[in-house]
Structure 1
Amino acid sequence: MRRLNAAALSGVAFALASMPGVSEAQSSVTLYGIIDAGITYVSNTGGSHVIKFDDGVSYGNRWGIKGSEDLGGGLSAVFVLESGFHLSNGQLGFGGSLFGRQAYVGLKNDWGTLSFGNQLDMTEEMVYSYNISGWASGYAIHQGDFDRFNGDRLPNAVKFLSNEFHGFMFGGMYSFGNIAGNFHEQSAWSVGAHYANGPFTVGTAYTQLNDPHGIYAFDPYAMIGVHTFLGQPTVSVDPATGAVTSLFSENPFPVDKQGTFGIGSSYAIGDVTLMGNFTFTTIKGLGQSSHMRVAEGGADWQVTPAFSAIGGYQYTNFEGHHWNQVSAGLHYLLSKRTDVYISGDYLKASSGVDAVIGYSFTPSSTTTQADVRIGMRHSF
């Protein structure tokens, strides 16, 4: 293809600007972001307690640009570029991707939005908000994030998300694996729906990853503290010191499929909102299959317009092991954009499991782990 020179490009731009409707199109671009930082105490990480600076906990640190252009006839072009980062050292999150949080372009009309790129899955769109423990403490995601309740993305995705019709919305997406000769490998798909009516809401979604990889690859010991996974050992133990080393910290555990179904609901009674959810996740690999079940419930009490108290309880069952976790948080708004908070979690796992809260810390040397955090968050 021959290249257009600068003069030709200028002519094309002038011609487009002169076309009816194009020069009159309304467009907007918004810069936004969230910054979260604080100090965390953890009771046991590999046998010792730690007091550390941590960031992106209450909400993930981010900055982004989003925009839209009115194309006429009820149709708009939309885009989002959103970057995650660590405030502690300025480094990018999401494996070093510049726009690892979101990066998409699409078209929107009265029915919904069709978009293309790195995008939030339907588990995030429809049921993520019912993770009440996570609202209390940002560390309190479900065990290992096996059920993708941490607000996860799918790359290379084509996605449709409907507008809301009488309280109902729905969506679906497909993520291409982009592997030559194998359309299935590293692909993923996700579907979901949500309904809201007055004080009542309910959402459900199913998301499946084939050959989870990259930031969603499996290191079972670091994720949930188990010593075996799908019938295979996950750690080596030094007989002299008792030190535990993960066998899959460098090369991920070979998982063929991760499929998760989730449903959640909320009901507001005055200043108190009750929330609950249930997830069922299937993990397949090496000819084996296991299931994780998570049940969670809790409440958000808006004590005053500026002050809220949030608490939640999670129960998890996987491969004969059990986890019980309680979480609580107090949040105070200094303004519409700035708040301070204190939060805490306590996790008790069954025998043979080294407790680890929310895939957030080094696993404990015992079946228990606890944390307390003081932090602040600012949005812009």
Structure 2
Amino acid sequence: MKKEVFALSMMAAATMAHAQSSVTLYGRIDNGIQYETGLPGGHAWSAQSGDWGCSWFGLQGSEDLGGGTKSVFQLEGQLNTMTGASAGNLFGRHATIGVTNDKFGLFKIGNLGAGELAQDSWGTDPQLMQRYAISTLVRGRNWTSTSNGAEYNSPVLFGGLVLKGQYSLTNNTHWNSAPVNSAGVPTGQGRTNAVEGIYTWGGGDFRVIYDEVRGADGSFNNVYSASRMVLAGGTYNIGPVRLYAGYQHMSAPSATNASMGVTDASQPAGVSAPTTVDHEWFGAEWQATNATAVTGAVYHANANHGNGNATLFTLAATYALSKRTFVYMEAGYVHNSSTSNINLGNGSYGNNNFNPVTGTSSNSNPNYGQSQTGVFAGIMTMF
């Protein structure tokens, strides 16, 4: 009898838990067409997945633990929806579990992935981190990812302030360095950590982000991928117009040509690996109608050690077909000074080393001092 009562109690508890839990499948698909000039060897038409934003799918859920506390989880992976291939690990963007409470905030642990706080810089970007946007002139530094970590988000404080903090480990005996391979050499990304503050009020918002991403050897040896970064920016609403402005500074005191993957001979005269980059931008979004939004923005970056500067001009528009589907387009033009060769696609640092005989190149950067122009259009749907 006691066993039967116990079994019935467990079944009832399971039923209650199921009723208080939720799991949601979600995702989005972004496909389009792109045309760019100034590439090594000429221009190119291409079909692209993710020019406006990455395509992904995921699962997220919660369970009511009582007393206003819930357990939460998220699993999310990125896709190339032009080929159907997974872009990285199955749940490379997010794989976390945590607890949340309106009074005490959110704590989660696991693969923070695309949740690395530098990616929150989209909130200061007029183009919302499209292909031609805040990450272009810093060669993708805002797309930093991190794993083996923990994150805390505070509840709303002092009327409109939210604080975030992250700390990620490398899971080896070398505290700041990446795990070593079979030859005993550190390989991959070193330790990361980040903090962020976001203040929101009726007319807009302001945020500050500071993060540290170390290279394989634990040092800051590539200003575009293993560096210290501080970013400050925000928005302000005036009727149907939202204004944006921001500033970003990156520092990698240990950067050398070798650590950034280039040779001395491939660099222009008087140019060596940058150790600092300063980046500023401003722009505006105009909600022309309920369905139509138009955005324009200008970005400017300057790198030290003779690397010069680049300016990016952008113009974009979206048109909502429904609550979940919209079409988009964006045009971008990047102008490089004589010793700069930044491209429109977050390309790596260094000479393109174009070989006209084979038609091959090391990257998609233009020649030094040359510009690039691009335009893309596509459709995004969410589920």
Using structure 2 for the length normalisation, give the TM-score.
Answer: 0.79
Q: Does 1:109 align with 2:101?
A: yes
The answer to whether the Cα contact below 8 Å between 1:143 and 1:316 also exists between their aligned partners in 2 is no
More displaced stretch, 263-272 vs 344-353: 344-353
* 1:138-174 deviations in Å (ceiling 9; x for gaps): 3323346467434x33101111012223211001010
Alpha-carbon distance in 1 for matches of 2:151, 2:19: 25
Q: Give the counterpart of 2:25 among 9, 14, 31.
A: 31
Aligned letter for 1:292?
V
More displaced stretch, 345-354 vs 269-278: 345-354
* 1:255-287 deviations in Å (ceiling 9; x for gaps): 8x5110001111000000000110010023357
Unaligned runs of 5+ in 2: 1-5, 178-189, 257-272, 348-362
Alpha-carbon distance in 1 for matches of 2:75, 2:111: 9
Q: Does 1:203 align with 2:219?
A: no
The answer to whether the Cα contact below 8 Å between 2:252 and 2:276 also exists between their aligned partners in 1 is yes
The answer to whether the Cα contact below 8 Å between 2:122 and 2:128 also exists between their aligned partners in 1 is no
The answer to whether the Cα contact below 8 Å between 1:212 and 1:258 also exists between their aligned partners in 2 is no
Aligned letter for 1:188?
T
Aligned residues: 327
Aligned CA RMSD, in angstroms, stands at 2.7
Q: Which has the higher contact order (CA 8 A, sep 6+)?
A: 1
Aligned letter for 1:138?
R
Match of 2:175 in 1: 183
Q: Indicate the SS of the match to 1:85.
A: strand
Q: Percent identity?
A: 28
Normalized per residue, the structure richer in strand is 1
Q: Does 1:343 align with 2:330?
A: yes
Aligned letter for 2:239?
G
Q: Does 1:173 align with 2:166?
A: yes
* 1:9-56 deviations in Å (ceiling 9; x for gaps): xxx998755559964761111111111111100012113100110111
Q: Does 1:296 align with 2:281?
A: yes
The answer to whether the Cα contact below 8 Å between 2:221 and 2:227 also exists between their aligned partners in 1 is no
Q: Does 1:378 align with 2:363?
A: no
Aligned letter for 2:314?
S
Match of 1:236 in 2: none
Q: Indicate the SS of the match to 1:149.
A: helix
* 1:221-253 deviations in Å (ceiling 9; x for gaps): xx7xxxxxxxxxxxxxxxxxxxxxxxxxxxxxx
* 1:169-188 deviations in Å (ceiling 9; x for gaps): 00101010112x21222111
More displaced stretch, 21-30 vs 46-55: 21-30
1:195 to partner: Cα distance: 0.4
More displaced stretch, 19-28 vs 303-312: 19-28
Alpha-carbon distance in 1 for matches of 2:246, 2:255: 30
Aligned letter for 2:367?
S
Alpha-carbon distance in 1 for matches of 2:8, 2:232: 52
The answer to whether the Cα contact below 8 Å between 1:16 and 1:22 also exists between their aligned partners in 2 is no
More displaced stretch, 285-294 vs 322-331: 285-294
Q: Give the counterpart of 1:355 among 314, 332, 342.
A: 342
The answer to whether the Cα contact below 8 Å between 2:74 and 2:97 also exists between their aligned partners in 1 is yes
* 1:293-351 deviations in Å (ceiling 9; x for gaps): 00000000000010010010001000231001101101100111111112110000111
For residues 211-226 of structure 1, the aligned pairs below 5 Å read 211=215
Q: Does 1:123 align with 2:121?
A: no
Residue 105 and residue 260 in structure 1: after superposition, are their counterparts in 2 closer, same or farther (change >3 A)? same
Alpha-carbon distance in 2 for matches of 1:317, 1:177: 32
More displaced stretch, 22-31 vs 191-200: 22-31
Unaligned runs of 5+ in 1: 1-11, 224-254
Match of 1:328 in 2: 315
* 1:87-107 deviations in Å (ceiling 9; x for gaps): 1111111xx200111111101
For residues 20-59 of structure 1, the aligned pairs below 5 Å read 23=17, 26-59=20-53
More displaced stretch, 286-295 vs 367-376: 286-295
More displaced stretch, 181-190 vs 303-312: 181-190
Q: Give the counterpart of 1:259 among 194, 210, 228.
A: 228
Alpha-carbon distance in 2 for matches of 1:74, 1:261: 35
